Amino acid sequence: MSSIRCSKVYNALSDPVRSLGWDAFVYTFTVATDWTDESTEYVQEACPAMRDYLREYMRRGINHSIKRLSLVRSDLPKIFEVGKYGDAPDERELRELMLERGWLSGLAAPCYGYGGAVGLTVLVSREKMPPEARIKDSLSFLIPRQTQLNAWAREALERQYRTESLSRREVECLMFVGEGKTSKDIADMLSISKRTVDFHIENAMNKMGVISRSQAVSRLSRMSIPHFPNQSDRTEVDGGAALTTIRPF
């Protein structure tokens, strides 16, 4: 997994959550909807103690699938006891790492957005269960700010993907999409296969950090067309599998 740092998110969370009595925090954001691929790019910010924890479980090779872990569920926001967190082997190892650091409880607060975008803030405490008043105060602080946190994180992702050049064929296919053409129409006009058209469009969407064709076309209309790399376009997809550059956490 690879992550992008976003100092605005860190600054917005660091001092306030400490003043509310939490020992550490981590904020993670993704714009994609397939939660199963471990090779992912995402925006993540954490306090130093939580960063050390994240580095340690990654060093141990723990399979951290955020969709599968019991922490991320439809009943969020939620308070959890670390000692009762998860029964799967990887979850038990994550629990042991938290207990080693003295973290006994936590608060998980998500913010869902358009097209499956989600930001998740997790706060942890050395108390077995924080007072109810502190939990309420923490949610009162987080919930109104989550949309702004997501906007900052999305901006960080978009900055990265704007630096990746689209190929000439990717731009060409998106421009035809903007004219209302289907993949089959584009394939006939360019004398390539429909599968290749879909590959170019998906690759362009991944580079741009968007999750739909309409978003890609809209963003292309606001971008100056980048310099095209001097290389031949790929005409077929190996084994029928598209390559991707942005994946969810």
- The model's pLDDT over 19-35, given as tens digits with 9 standing for 90+, comes to 999 999 999 887 654 44
Cβ atoms 181, 187 nearer than 8 A: no
Here the tokens at position 180 are 């209302």
pLDDT band at 242 (very low <50, low <70, confident <90, very high): very low
The one-character DSSP state at 238 is G
Q: What is the pLDDT of residue 168?
A: 79
- Which pTM does this prediction carry? 0.63
Here the tokens at position 50 are 């939580």
Coil vs helix vs strand at 91: helix
d(CA 63, CA 32): 19
- The model's pLDDT over 181-238, given as tens digits with 9 standing for 90+, comes to 999 999 998 899 999 999 999 998 888 777 888 888 877 766 644 333 333 333 333 3
Burial of 59 (0-12, 13-18, 19+ CB in 10 A): exposed
Amino acid identity of residue 217, one-letter, is V
- The model's pLDDT over 106-145, given as tens digits with 9 standing for 90+, comes to 998 888 765 556 788 999 999 999 999 999 999 999 988 9
Cβ atoms 16, 134 nearer than 8 A: no
State the average pLDDT over residues 164-181.
83
E strand or H helix at 168, and its extent? helix 168-178
Q: How far apart are the first and last CA of the chain?
A: 8
Cβ atoms 180, 216 nearer than 8 A: no
